[in-house]
Structure 1
């Protein structure tokens, strides 16, 4: 059999159910890869090797005994360390939170355990999940696996989750997305990431950044995996929507106008245009939306909401100048709560205006296509000084209550991934997954892997 860590969730599931693969062997393969690569990549905060192997043994026994188990029984995964698991520490990426163990298990994690999935470990995150580059001053920044010479950013805040999946240290991982925190790391790391509509997947037992904007979703190696995992996370059986394989013929897809194209790096823009051409060749109609709002208008509103809410959740820490907080995160909060004079109601009014303007412009299309991020990954040493905005195209999706899918669509001359974002209406996950699946069925960018030795 080929390297087990190359298997997708769907492939692993099929082999496990056919008894051609054991969960123990699959879990061991992941753990061995973690032991080999994670000292360099820094994706995991904590690995639960013994417990994972014990759970895998139990999964194999259940399958061999003929018990009625779900299709993903025995499939391993990684969990972003803002999600509570009873008896485990949830750091939220912060030294300031201490080492208290959670006394509850988040509903989304409970659903995964009920489906028989195997927790490999907790993945690194930006402190309080508040940061798009993926850095963490006190706990370290995961390394983008596409450059083993220069330490480049992995994207945030679900940094460790994305690196674990991209480097095949996990078949898939849980992320959260408040302003792009699934899609941005998926883009920088060359994998697939699904930002779901707020409220579809419960956030109970997840450390909040913003109750208004927080969402849960999978980081995976393919749209097909994302589609079936989305179903599991919703508490269903793990079946992709029947529309997944219908293709894009007859769909109307919106494309960027010149104002919003102007912020995009040349390599990213070139691959974006090629993706549009590919979808057009598959039968979609591409329409340039010339009255789109400039997306940078959304950034201040998103920053204000996230800053004001996370400050309210962690007021004692942010008011304590001696608390060991990441200074970049502290700065984001301080700047954000000063926007709009600290008037939260005004921020909400501005959010509604922007949502309405985007809704009007997208009313005639089945989905909007943008680059996921305007640039490729940059050296971590440049993150603190750059003026680039990685959330330029992702934050509007959260503010407008929409869903979004990031899929790999090529590479720069330096060998760094670029990504296409597919944006749908609230609750239109089936539509964006359908478009993404058609694109991946006609391309092989999602099959490329970083060379890690």
Structure 2
């Protein structure tokens, strides 16, 4: 099998081929490294590629599997981790030039869990500085190139820009990102892949550089729903090092994944929210509703008790206040080598009073209850993931955020799955967001899998990668 053929296969197929010994972990890792050598100079998805360590791990995996010592179905599968996730002894910048030489002194729980299941960490991917930005730009450390347009540099989405580009560019079969206001779902949308924003506590945040501890959640990014479900299953679980995981029982999404959606009640977004999306995004969204209805779901109209932009404002207030508390020493230092677009976003937290911050936290509880009442008898809310397809960087207004359809999910501690649902006239991907109640990731994945099986959008590849 050629390197390009291997690079297009989803993880669940790669896993089966390794188990059946039709391919080896060494072949798979070598394939990824060859694609990185060929495409990374243009795509710039990675902060660091751990080629030597990955090859050694692949050789060890191949030897173990050959003698019957496989540790599970993910043994030998390579992955990329966002550069907020610590791996002991490795450089860990958090997207900031100020931390360019910082080395991790511990390993994140999710990294240790993946390694214990035989997953091979191929390298660390770029992020927006401190993860504070939805466009995906980083003026000092570099902005990854969205592979869907190799002639014009477009928004890759942020803050998990490198992870999305690495997956979309066929450099690695899947990756891990983080989401505080849409930082998994927006890159997934603009890069034509699938990403899951998890509920707080589902996946341990220990060893992950924070932006807003109230809102931060790590999650999987891959080329299809089944792979996202596999990675979510591999990462989740209680962790004594993260109190937010306490008391949550493990939920395996795989048994219900292919159950279908007949009889489910899925809500379209209110008409008042449609005006924020472009015509082509709305066309793809409406077509998605028709597909889901044809699969047996009932599509209903939801009367939301608030506007998405009002929720987004509260979400941003918490993000700014908490991120300023974390990074004020750098933000207030004019000599610190910070991204000029990120500094003012975090600096805004300086002017948020304790009263205003507490009001946002209190209103969060109120809005959670309001949303729960509105969603009674409804299994999921469907929206676009982003308002437009990927924009040329020259058209980006850094004073505005592209997170209209995503921030409410973080503020209300919901889970949300973004997956491809079309292309615009320029061939750029559009995306559907499936939002479910907190702790119901398995249901969001089930709906997403049913939609994906009825369409072929996730199988579309960016042209011109070479």
TM-score of the alignment, normalized to the shorter chain, above 0.5: yes
Equivalent pair of 2:312/2:411 in contact (CA under 8 Å): no
CA distance in 1, matches of 2:355, 2:208: 26
Equivalent pair of 2:322/2:349 in contact (CA under 8 Å): no
What 5-or-longer segments of structure 2 have no aligned partner? 239-249
Q: How does 1:197-276 map to 2 (within 5 A)?
A: 197-235=199-237, 240-276=253-289
1:56 has 2:63 as partner: no
1:431 has 2:443 as partner: yes
2:157 counterpart SS class: coil
1:446 has 2:461 as partner: no
CA distance in 2, matches of 1:130, 1:371: 21
1:405 has 2:407 as partner: no
Deviations 1:319-362 (A, max 9, x none): 21111111111111123443567732122123223323322212
Deviations 1:176-200 (A, max 9, x none): 0111111110000000001111001
CA distance in 1, matches of 2:319, 2:251: 32
Q: How does 1:244-393 map to 2 (within 5 A)?
A: 244-339=257-352, 343-384=356-397, 387=400, 389-393=401-405
CA distance in 1, matches of 2:86, 2:355: 31
Equivalent pair of 1:89/1:101 in contact (CA under 8 Å): yes
Q: How does 1:120-269 map to 2 (within 5 A)?
A: 120-235=122-237, 240-269=253-282
CA distance in 1, matches of 2:85, 2:177: 9
1:370 counterpart SS class: strand
CA distance in 2, matches of 1:63, 1:132: 41
1:327 counterpart SS class: coil
CA distance in 1, matches of 2:388, 2:354: 31
Q: Over the residues paired in the alignment, what is the CA RMSD in angstroms?
A: 1.6
CA distance in 2, matches of 1:285, 1:127: 42
Q: So what's the TM-score if we normalise by structure 2?
A: 0.94
CA distance in 2, matches of 1:360, 1:375: 30
Pick from 64, 67, 74 the counterpart of residue 65 of structure 1.
67
1:103 has 2:105 as partner: yes
Pick from 16, 31, 34 the counterpart of residue 33 of structure 2.
31
CA distance in 1, matches of 2:35, 2:251: 27
1:92 has 2:94 as partner: yes
Q: So what's the TM-score if we normalise by structure 1?
A: 0.97
What 5-or-longer segments of structure 1 have no aligned partner? none
CA distance in 2, matches of 1:56, 1:291: 50
CA distance in 1, matches of 2:100, 2:80: 22
Deviations 1:405-447 (A, max 9, x none): 0010000101111000000011101111000000001000000
CA distance in 2, matches of 1:291, 1:114: 43
Equivalent pair of 2:145/2:153 in contact (CA under 8 Å): yes
2:368 counterpart SS class: helix
- Offset at residue 100 of structure 1 (A): 2.2
1:296 counterpart SS class: helix
Deviations 1:6-53 (A, max 9, x none): 111101111111111110110011011011111111101111111111
CA distance in 1, matches of 2:284, 2:294: 15
Equivalent pair of 1:232/1:238 in contact (CA under 8 Å): no
* Aligned pairs, number: 452
